[in-house]
Chains A and B, each alone.
Chain A
């Protein structure tokens, strides 16, 4: 893999990806999701007031994780004819997703928690930030794999999209186990940071090349059958 940090092509790919996300009509799904999140905030049995925030954020960003090849219907083909290595494309797309998570998390949290009856402590906020760091890269890896195995040319409110959201939230729940072990069982939140670094390395060294390899191997089927 080329180790240049971010060249001009990648910077353009990242900004294009972010712009594309906000210009797609699916970004408007944040409004009903946020309303649902506000209602969920009144449910008293969540372990943290940030749970509805996490659910809304990941449900909204689902295609950004689970459908990276078709943010628009002919994106895979459009990118294939350009002189771009898939590793660079995936890295740029994943970085755009990370950016969206990090920027939109405070926005979604501020909105939902404004209506929440629970008073949010600084400890809960810190834990929520650690939680995001813990699940982010594993979730990106799961999404990269799913993007190649179950691509969707269109995203909206179809059955496949709902199934995608359900699958992503199940992944979020499963990936939360490591966070619970570090913070609740071992009472060592610092391990979340170590875990974050380990998953970052895993993403960079394994997930990106593996996804690129899978795309190369299955692009004919994807182009023909999806």
Chain B
């Protein structure tokens, strides 16, 4: 069963920039799906459309088998979002914020309270739980975002560059928690321009470039699947493969003085 199905998705901004161009992909239930691409490839716009922050020009976005409708926010009750910008009220403490979000997801007061405490403890935020989020480090803020995204036990978690700007320890904690959730059946949709992360962490991957899907397959099959389009078959990393895949599409640049 597919949790997320995107087909023919197109979005052009007022400036004339086509951010997403006939994008098609499917995310299977229970997978850890890596959505990889260079900066500006269209990853964030795609996620913003799924999150209801941005309207599409054309195409279809189906979540849990149902087309997203403009005025219907109910589909979000089964999704957790961690977007590129930290979306929270930073004047609140982590405790207050998780309480607020839990209530907005319709959890009972008892569940909100117990899950908030557990999440703060799980992400090592217990001691700082009553301090305002504004004073937190980037890593701690990401942890708060992730905690808020999972408090309602969603079926799908959408994360935009969740490991960006955080230290190794926080990254490990976040990856471990995501792996744990995936093992319990939660689908993880994660964007990253750090391809090593995608290769090591994700079970399935889609590579996007200039708003189009170049390739979608299981991470373990990527070398075989991409073979026809590549010059070499013995890549050490997804990064090397990716560079080769894009080499025909992106003009190489040089500095005249180097």
Question: What class of interface size applies to chain B in its complex with A?
Answer: 20 to 34
Q: Can you list, as one digit per residue, whether each of A75-108 has a CB less than 8 Å from chain B (1) or not (0)? A: 1011011111110000000000000000000000
Contact of A24 among B70, B85, B91, B101 (CB under 8 A): B91
When the two chains form their complex, are residues B70 and A81 in contact, meaning their CB atoms are under 8 A apart? no
A contact patch SS: helix
Inter-subunit contact B91/A12 (CB<8 Å): no
**Assuming A9-B104, A16-B100, A74-B85, is B76 touching A81 (CB within 8 A)?**
yes
Question: Cα distance A82–B104 when bound, in Å?
Answer: 7
Segment at the A interface, from B46-54, B121-129, B204-212 = B46-54
Chain A positions within 8 Å of B203 at CB level? none
* Binary flags per residue of B68-108, CB closer than 8 Å to A gives 1, else 0: 00110111110001010111111100000000110111100
Q: For residue B76, which residue of chain A has the nearest CB?
A: A83
- Please tell me if the beta carbons of B105 and A82 are within 8 angstroms of each other in the complex: yes
Q: How far is the CA of A155 from the CA of B89 in the complex (A)?
A: 15
Using CB atoms, name the residue of chain A closest to B108: A8
Interface contact A12-B103, CB-CB below 8 Å: yes
Who on chain A is nearest to B90 by CB? Answer: A72
A74 to B87, CA, bound (A): 6
B55 to chain A: closest residue by CB: A220
A81–B81 CB distance below 8 A: yes
Query: Which residues of chain B (56-74) have a CB below 8 Å from chain A?
Result: 70-71, 73-74
The answer to whether B53 touches A223 (Cβ under 8 A) is: yes
DSSP majority for the B interface?
loop
The answer to whether the Cβ of A23 comes within 8 Å of any Cβ in the partner chain is: yes
Instruction: Please give me the residue from chain B that is nearest to A13 by CB atom.
Output: B104
Answer whether A83 and B104 are a contact pair too, CB < 8 Å, given A16-B89, A72-B91, A74-B86: yes
A71 to B, closest residue via Cβ: B89
- The B-contacting residues of A in range 19-77, CB under 8 angstroms, are 20, 23-24, 72, 74-75, 77
CB distance from A219 to the nearest CB of B (A): 7
B83 & A77 in contact (Cβ 8 Å cutoff): yes
Residue B14, interface by CB 8 Å: yes
Give every chain B residue within 8 A of A83 (Cβ-Cβ). Answer: 73-77, 104-106
B87–A23 touching, CB < 8 Å: no
Which residues on B sit within 8 Å (CB–CB) of A20? 89, 91
Contact assessment for B90 and A12 in the assembled complex, using a CB-CB cutoff below 8 Å? no
Q: Is A186 among interface residues, defined by CB-CB distance under 8 A?
A: no
Is A224 interfacial (CB-CB < 8 Å)?
yes
A-side residues, CB < 8 A to B, are 8-9, 12, 16, 20, 23-24, 72, 74-75, 77-78, 80-86, 212, 216, 219-221, 223-225
Other A-B pairs beyond A12-B103, A80-B51, 14, CB < 8 Å: A9-B104, A20-B89, A74-B87, A81-B53, A82-B73, A82-B101, A82-B104, A83-B77, A84-B73, A86-B73, A212-B71, A223-B48, A224-B13, A224-B54
**Can you give 5 contacting A-B residue pairs, CB < 8 Å?**
A72-B91, A80-B51, A81-B83, A83-B105, A220-B55
Top 7 A-B pairs, shortest CB-CB distance: A83-B77, A83-B76, A78-B87, A81-B81, A82-B104, A12-B103, A220-B54
